[in-house]
Copies of this chain bind each other. A is one copy, B any other.
Amino acid sequence: MANVKLAIVYYSSTGGNYQMAQWAEKAAKDVGAETKLVQVPELAPEEAIASNPLWKKHYEATKDVPEATSGDIEWADAIIFSAPTRFGTLPAQMKNFIDMQGGLWGAGKTINKVVSGMTSAQNPHGGQEATLLSLYTSMMHWGAIIAAPGYSDDSIFASGGNPYGASAAVQNGEIVEDIKGAVEHQARRTIDVAGRVVAGS
């Protein structure tokens, strides 16, 4: 298999999606991928963050995680996006990062990136499906190749059976579903598809 470069681009306020991003990175490294784990810039003012102790704690703890750049997107063969829902679509923080790639897009450099997404919400049906579908809509504008997991592994059923991507219910910053296996499978599947796409270029 071709050596695959995977960017894991996440936004997390209380840590759930950061945990998922880390699981995905580990699984991708284990199958030989080169990885970058990067966070999108925060948009919320400091006082908003400070008003929520879990958010504040996570924000401080991850200050050293590099910020995602256009260079990371250009570099990557595959991208896994991970972000919680905000009213059924991506948080503005993640959308802002995506919106800012207009330059890359205009230069045709987003075409054929292999993409999948992960998400979380407080409620079990609180946007876990809709948020991922919204991500994929934007990715189609990019000309990306979408490799949602479907029901391609038993771990998906065990984790709640979201075919659009691994998803968690996160309460008080804790993931309350058994989704580690589904995240790892999704990472491996993304690498597998990207490896084929790259090898055939």
Chain A residues at the B interface, C-beta cutoff of 8 Å: 1, 43, 86-93, 95-96, 98-99, 105, 108, 110-112, 121-130, 133-134, 136-138, 140-152, 157, 160-164, 167, 192-193, 195-197, 199-201
A105 to B88, CA, bound (A): 14
Q: Contacts A161-B122, A200-B1 given: A144-B134 contact, CB under 8 Å?
A: no
Which of A122, A125, A197 is most buried by chain B, counting CB atoms within 10 A of its CB? A125
Can you list the 5 inter-chain pairs with the closest CB atoms, starting with the nearest?
Answer: A123-B161, A143-B150, A196-B200, A92-B96, A125-B162
Q: Evaluate contact between A152 and B89: CB separation under 8 angstroms.
A: no
Supposing A1-B200, A161-B122, A200-B196 touch, asked if A127 and B99 sit within 8 A by C-beta, the answer is no
Looking at the complex, which one of B99, B121, B126, B143 makes contact with A152 (CB distance below 8 Å)? Answer: B143
Partner of A129, one of B105, B127, B144: B127
